[in-house]
Amino acid sequence: MLDQLEKLYTNACNEIETATSAPALQDWESRYIGRNGEIKVLLRSVGQLPAEQRAAFGKRANEIRDELTALHSRREELIRQRELAHSFESGEIDVTLPGRPTPMGGIHPANQTLREITEIWADMGFQVFRTREVEDDETNFELLNIPQHHPARDMWDTFHTTTPGVILRTHTSPGQIHAMRHFAPGPIRVILPGMCYRYEQISTRKEIQFNQVEGLAVGTNIRLSDLKGTMTSFLHRMLGEDKKVRFRSSYFPFTEPSMEVDVECIICGGQGCSVCKYSGWLEVAGCGMVHPVVLRNGGYDPATHSGFAFGMGPERITMLKHDIKDIRYFWGNDLRFLEQF
């Protein structure tokens, strides 16, 4: 039985040299020095030996077990070092390779349209004038000829703050007051882009936040024909020289007279489709001559000065240009939509 033990020791020493991976070494350990390994089996059978041989056999078996355990530890460390070196080699960075291109973000489609609008108006002599988004009720409504309890206030569903009289602006029109008081009594040609907020039911056509571009021109000899010619010129540059433009009478408290501006449907070319509700026309802006009350509140004398104002939405124009059916796409942060632009 002692000879069997020595043979087992020799086989174990030879086989461990062929264990070149952690799983192979685990198999070797289980076979020889594990709980049910061959060394343990022989030790459990020591009672079958004559009494005078048991001590020598047990001593040698324990020596072999300790030697194989130490051999296993050294082999385990060697395999670990080899695998670590291999991982370093396989993951080595070749600094001579060209770098990977960094994905670049794009400009939001609404901002693309806003930049185009701004560029066109700048070419026409209008400068950008920024105003605040948190506004007071007086500037947002009363100075624009919309006093308290006026039914026209129903046109603007307002977000109120916890401070009485402080609201989120419902349109960019209060910027007219800020601009007039800044430039009065001189002439004005400005556009006022910015975010507006309205407490409305979100749908495919309406959002609670949206961009607007307000425009204002004030001087001593500005007429309705100037407004119509200016708006027509802008829309031809924005949507195409071949597009027909029409003006419809409308109502805004801060302009008189007031008009809606329509352009020939971009999608169907005026033939009628679901986008234009089969009318052949698309509404793109509201405009009018500045109301005398608003001029006076801005610091101008209506007897000597006149002006026109207009307002349009970049999201609305973007939807028309690209046949986008749902305004909620602009705020959904869906890359499948945004990456198309």
- Strand pairing class (188-197; 127-128): parallel
- Cα dist from 28 to 18, 60, 185, whole Å: 10, 20, 97
Report the pLDDT averaged over residues 309-323: 88
Question: Does 52 or 219 have the greater pLDDT score?
Answer: 219
pLDDT reported for residue 139 = 95
Quickly state the pLDDT bin for 78 (edges 50, 70, 90).
Answer: confident
Cis geometry, peptide bond prior to residue 103 (ω within 30 degrees of 0): no
| Its pTM surpasses 0.75 | no
pLDDT reported for residue 91 = 66
CB neighbourhood size of 320 (10 A): 21
Is 106:339 a contact under the CB 8 Å cutoff?
Answer: yes
| Spatial CA neighbour of 316 closest among 209, 205, 238 | 205
Residue 305 has pLDDT above 80, yes or no: yes
Residue 38 has pLDDT above 70, yes or no: yes
Report the pLDDT averaged over residues 126-138: 95
pLDDT reported for residue 60 = 77
CA atoms of 123 and 140, how far apart (whole Å): 29
| Spatial CA neighbour of 317 closest among 280, 279, 283, 288 | 283
Residue 151 has pLDDT above 90, yes or no: no
Residue 269 has pLDDT above 80, yes or no: no
Residue 136 has pLDDT above 70, yes or no: yes
Quickly state the pLDDT bin for 193 (edges 50, 70, 90).
Answer: very high
CA atoms of 27 and 19, how far apart (whole Å): 9
The residues, ordered by sequence, that sit 6+ positions from 331 with a Cβ below 8 Å of its Cβ are 207, 209
